[in-house]
Amino acid sequence: MRELILGIETSCDETAAAVVEAGTQVLSNVVHSQTALHERWRGVVPEVASRSHTERILPILQQALADAAVTPEDLTAIAVTHRPGMIGCLLVGLAAAKALAWRFGKPLLGVDHVQAHVHTGFLAEPDLPLPALALVASGGHTALYLIHERGRTERLGTTRDDAAGEALDKGAALLGLPYPGGPAIQRAAATGNAKRYDLPRTLLGPDSLDFSFSGLKTALLYTLRPQGAPPRAAPPEGQELADLAASYQEALVDVLVQKLARAARATSARSLCLGGGVARNTRLRERLAAEPSLTRLHLVLPAPDLCSDNGAMIASLGSHLLRTGQVATLELDAVATPAAGGKAVVRR
Ligand code: KG4
Ligand code: ZN
């Protein structure tokens, strides 16, 4: 019998649903992004986001089933993000998932959003060589994991302040670029000289696999407006803007690459995979492919649409939960915080 899992994701500002067969074959992957709704606030407004999820969830679910040419009766189980995220947003997906599970008598699977990003590599490559390093870099999270096997991961390091995507979003705001900042900075950087501005690469201790991006953001602020100088009359433009964007992007990407190189040296990882919206970044992808200290690792770069928030990664990890008997009840709750990630482990 076919294993068909419906994955539902509403933890932040994407209303998403997908049908995945046998854990890794994506039959449909429908995402409605609310970016346009939140742009003027330069960030996600929880109440606006949850209202929009409520309006969109049913058509998105119908579309995901139609694209996959399956009916709710055909489904094996319903997987849904239940943590971490904004409570009002999570509750919309959870209510839909519970209603479907109850009405059609299907098992309900509660998926951790961050762990779903960590496991994205399996969607691109079901036989991912293990152990695998996974970098999750998004607007809310930036962390490095070692995947020992599906469902068993060890957090090696995490951010001590801003997430990488958050640093890009805030940097873009300083540069007068639109939200979300990651794609805007990538576009502006395309014609820029990344060497023009010398911005800091915060690596913390010599063995640390943690991240810190707040100093980079502050350095950009003072590059734009040196201490004691009057406010700028207008945001940068033309070549100055391109060079600032390129220098900022390069500093952030450099830190991610150097941390991955450290993690590769410190572990017996055989492959490297990415997840989270920042993993869409073309400069990061180029740098990883060219980095000499990473050539020993098998590099897995999932399609951009599997990196940013989506239902396929939820269905895929849901498949693992189903196969290992980790089925939820209709009591499943929304939880705002990430699951305890364990202490960051420094390996020598
Ligand atoms: O994973 P995601 O879609 O949502 C969260 O769980 O946060 O990630 C969104 C983040 C935003 O900060 C956005 O600026 C960033 O991913 N992002 C990018 C790119 N596309 C999205 N960052 C760098 N380059 C991109 N092309
Ligand atoms: Zn995410």
- Residue 302 has phi, psi (to 5 degrees) of -60, 155
State how far Cα 223 lies from the chain centre: 29
Which atom of ligand 1 is closest in space to residue 168's alpha carbon? Answer: 14
Tell me the DSSP string of 233-249. Answer: SS---HHHHHHHHHHHH
* Ligand 1 and 120: CB distance under 6 A: no
- What DSSP string runs through 170-218? HHHHHTTPPSSHHHHHHHHHTTS-TTSS-------STT---B--HHHHH
Domains in the chain, CATH or no CATH each = 4-119+306-342 (3.30.420.40), 127-304 (3.30.420.40)
- Centre of ligand 2 to C-alpha 254, Å, is 22
Our answer on whether the CB atom of 85 is closer than 6 Å to any ligand 1 atom is no
Counting atoms of ligand 1 from 1, which one is nearest the CA of 308?
3
pLDDT at 35: 87
CB burial of residue 121 (10 Å; 0-12, 13-18, 19+): buried
Residue with tokens 């994701």, as numbered in its chain: 9
- What does pTM read for this prediction? 0.95
- Ligand nearest to C-alpha 165: 1
139 pocket-lining for ligand 1 (C-beta < 6 Å): yes
Residue 110 near ligand 1, beta carbon < 6 Å:
no
Tens of pLDDT, residues 294-346: 999 999 999 999 999 999 999 999 999 999 999 999 999 999 998 875 433 33
How far, in Å, is the centroid of ligand 2 from the Cα of 279?
11
**Phi first, then psi: what are they for 307, rounded to 5°?**
-80, -50
Helix (H) or strand (E) holding 33: strand 25-33
Distance 279 CA to ligand 1 centre (A): 8
Q: Is 186 in the pocket of ligand 1 (CB under 6 A)?
A: yes
Q: Is the dihedral of CA 275, 281, 284, 286 positive or negative?
A: positive
CA–centroid distance, 180 to ligand 1, in Å, is 7
Q: Which of 112, 278, 284, 310 to mutate to test the pocket of ligand 1 (most atoms within 8 A of CB)?
A: 278
The low-confidence residues of the chain, meaning pLDDT below 70, are 341-348
Please identify every residue whose CB atom is under 5 Å from ligand 2, which is an ion. 138, 309
Phi and psi at residue 130, to the nearest 5°: -115, 155
Beta carbon of 302 within 6 Å of any ligand 1 atom? no
Whether residue 206 has a cis bond before it, omega within 30° of 0: no
